[in-house]
């Protein structure tokens, strides 16, 4: 294709065409060529050659720049809409080759597409992405034991240090470091100073560098973490048109190369019940992805995480997975998988799901207790000051995160003591009701025995 980088020599290209090439275990040969795209490219090349000839002729005639511009526009319009030999503005459906969806991770991360991974800061999104990258680098099965592809990985992670974060974490989960490549900077040329220098990678300027990196390193996974750090300084993430100008060509690169692109994004501070509207930035970001994933705290246990799917345009939605973050003997975090769960996304993102440290400690103390606790007991078990604890308990009660029982005692929702308390209160209420009913039907029973 005209704009697609090709690092191979002509001899290598000929050999590759005859024998086919292997990229991450996926076979590419003549049968993989989309004929409609090939014809479209040939037409564009033919038009470019004719335009170049016309441009040289007009310059020899000493036409002005404005005259040349108008003549070139008329010529291009003529070639697009004039003779039948230039039919490049559309593709007939019979010329489109039918292809199946290939998955890097079955029903979670498709090859040749953009996938989003959303979540609040600190829930483990980056760690999860590195775990997936490690599986790809070695070709071992994915965390749910489904088939895993082997190939190169490109990491665009400008906010994490390669020395003390990326490499130790990748080593902790057993990656093949020879398959992992970092692309945090791009080489550029300053026409004013005539200097060549490195600057931070930007999606709005450096997509050609990314595509070349995918091809040269036989990459089948690109991780962008986080999106907002590499969009580009002139791109407004809240404007639909701006983000589509970047993500549409990025999606085309994914399609051309067959590479899966995993984009990590933070959640916004809204309280929308629809998880598709909780990601930061324009809804166009979600629209550009074929699959959107979510990492959130487990509502039943703040120490665990839920890995869920909130959008899938390509297949059935995969079952949610649970994991927790643990550390190895060197203090490096890694993910421990705990099986499946069935929380709904609305439950995962409900207000109050992401609790402060103080609230987590209070809930843990109430869950671990054999029965309800009063404020003083909670203070002793959590180490929180009595004065501030009272206001926190009041707010938690209003948010229905805890239950306040009689005499100022508190417990967690669904605690076993709740059932016993309800039975006791229900029995007491029934006895009171029965006594009142007896008194109402037999007023004489309230009289002293001497007056009966």
H helix or E strand, kind and range, residue 311: strand 301-312
Q: Which position has the higher pLDDT, 148 or 62? A: 148
Mean predicted confidence (pLDDT) in 285-307: 92
**The CATH number fitting domain 357-416, selected from 1.10.10.10, 3.30.499.10, 3.50.50.60, 3.40.1260.10:** 1.10.10.10
Query: Residue 383: which region, alpha, beta or left (left: phi > 0; alpha: psi -120 to 50)?
Result: left
Answer yes or no: is pLDDT of 433 > 50.
no
User: What is the C-alpha separation between 255 and 25, in angstroms, rounded?
Assistant: 17
pLDDT of residue 151: 97
What pTM did the predictor assign? 0.65
320 and 342 in contact (C-beta within 8 Å)?
Answer: yes
Which tokens belong to 210? 């990314």
Q: What is the pLDDT of residues 336-360, one digit of tens each?
A: 999 999 888 877 876 544 566 788 7
Q: Which position has the higher pLDDT, 11 or 341? A: 341
User: What is the C-alpha separation between 5 and 3, in angstroms, rounded?
Assistant: 6
Location of each CATH 3.40.50.300 domain in the chain: 103-348
User: What is the C-alpha separation between 255 and 394, in angstroms, rounded?
Assistant: 53
Rank 230-234, 292-296, 386-390 by mean pLDDT and report only the highest: 292-296
Location of each CATH 1.10.10.10 domain in the chain: 357-416
103-348 is a CATH 3.40.50.300 domain: yes
Q: Which of 150-159, 166-175, 271-280, 312-321 has the lowest mean pLDDT?
A: 271-280
pLDDT of residue 82: 65
Mean predicted confidence (pLDDT) in 379-393: 87
pLDDT of residue 83: 59
Answer yes or no: is pLDDT of 48 > 60.
yes
Q: Which of 38-52, 155-169, 397-411 has the lowest mean pLDDT?
A: 38-52
């Amino acid at each position: 294709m005209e704009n697609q980088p090709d690092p191979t020599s002509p001899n290598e290209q000929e050999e590759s065409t005859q024998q086919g090439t292997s990229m991450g275990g996926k076979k590419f040969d003549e049968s993989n060529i989309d004929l409609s795209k090939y014809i479209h490219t040939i037409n564009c090349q033919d038009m470019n050659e004719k335009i170049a000839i016309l441009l040289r002729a007009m310059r020899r005639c000493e036409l002005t720049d404005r005259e040349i511009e108008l003549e070139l526009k008329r010529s291009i319009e003529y070639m697009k809409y004039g003779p039948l030999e230039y039919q490049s503005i559309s593709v007939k459906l019979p010329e489109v080759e039918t292809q199946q969806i290939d998955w890097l991770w079955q029903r979670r991360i498709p090859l040749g597409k953009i996938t989003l991974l959303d979540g609040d800061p600190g829930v483990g999104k980056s760690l999860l992405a590195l775990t997936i990258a490690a599986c790809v680098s070695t070709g071992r099965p994915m965390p749910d034991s489904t088939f895993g592809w082997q190939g190169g990985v490109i990491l665009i992670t400008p906010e994490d240090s390669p020395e003390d974060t990326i490499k130790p974490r990748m080593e902790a989960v057993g990656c093949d470091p020879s398959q992992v490549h970092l692309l945090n900077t791009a080489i550029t040329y300053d026409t004013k100073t005539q200097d060549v220098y490195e600057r931070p990678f930007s999606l709005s300027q450096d997509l050609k560098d990314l595509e070349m990196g995918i091809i040269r390193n036989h990459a089948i996974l690109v991780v962008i973490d986080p999106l907002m750090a590499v969009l580009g300084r002139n791109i407004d993430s809240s404007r639909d048109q701006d983000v589509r100008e970047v993500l549409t060509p990025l999606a085309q690169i994914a399609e051309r190369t067959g590479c899966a692109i995993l984009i990590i994004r933070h959640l916004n501070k809204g309280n929308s019940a629809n998880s598709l509207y909780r990601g930061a930035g324009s809804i166009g970001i979600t629209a550009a992805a074929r699959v959107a994933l979510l990492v959130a705290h487990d509502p039943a246990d703040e120490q665990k995480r839920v890995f869920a799917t909130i959008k899938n345009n390509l297949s059935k939605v995969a079952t949610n997975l649970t994991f927790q973050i643990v550390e190895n003997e060197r203090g490096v975090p890694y993910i421990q998988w705990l099986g499946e769960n069935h929380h709904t996304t609305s439950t995962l993102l409900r207000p109050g799901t992401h609790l402060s440290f103080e609230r987590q400690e209070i809930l843990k103390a109430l869950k671990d207790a054999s029965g309800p606790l009063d404020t003083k007991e909670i203070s002793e078990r959590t180490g929180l000051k009595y004065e501030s604890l009272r206001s926190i308990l009041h707010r938690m009660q209003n948010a229905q995160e805890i239950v306040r029982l009689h005499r100022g005692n508190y417990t967690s929702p669904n605690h076993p003591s709740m059932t016993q308390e309800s039975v006791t209160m229900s029995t007491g209420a029934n006895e009171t009701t029965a006594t009142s009913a007896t008194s109402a039907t037999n007023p004489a029973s309230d009289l002293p025995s001497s007056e009966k």
